[in-house]
Amino acid sequence: MASFVPSSPDTLEDQRLYTRARLTDVACLDCLATVGVKKNSEHHTSVQWNGEARAHCPDLGRRTGGRDLYPACPRMLASIEAAARDGQIPIGAEDGY
């Protein structure tokens, strides 16, 4: 249960900017699952998985047990690194997000 549910338009916009602004779609070079990626620096990468991507990824599909807090697929991570090297993902928080 959420302890705080934003209702102010300014707060909702801040939430949108923090969680979705500047996301670049990156498809896994192996299974083609697509996630949203943002790189604020060379060492900081945010990855937004959605239900469709999680269901499409065979690595995540093989996992059993409870909810993965930080699901990572090594093939997806390699795909993100390749996209960053190729200049497909902008690096840097230009506007604070």
Does some domain include residue 7?
A: no
Q: What confidence score (pLDDT) does residue 10 get?
A: 77
Domain assignment present for residue 64? The answer is: yes
Range of the domain at 74: 24-85
In-domain check, residue 19: no
Greatest Cα pair distance, the chain, in angstroms, is 41
Sign of CA dihedral 86, 89, 93, 95: positive
Domain assignment present for 9: no
Is residue 75 within 8 Å of residue 31, measured between CB atoms? yes
In a domain, 61, yes or no: yes
Report the domain count for the chain. 1
Which of the two residues, 17 and 86, has the higher pLDDT score? 86
Inside any domain, residue 34: yes
pLDDT in tens, 13-64: 777 777 677 899 999 999 999 999 998 888 889 898 888 998 899 988 777 6
Give a yes or no: residue 94 inside a domain. no
What does pTM read for this prediction? 0.75
Q: Which of 6-10, 35-39, 71-75, 78-82 has the least mean pLDDT?
A: 6-10
Which pLDDT score is estimated for 35? 95
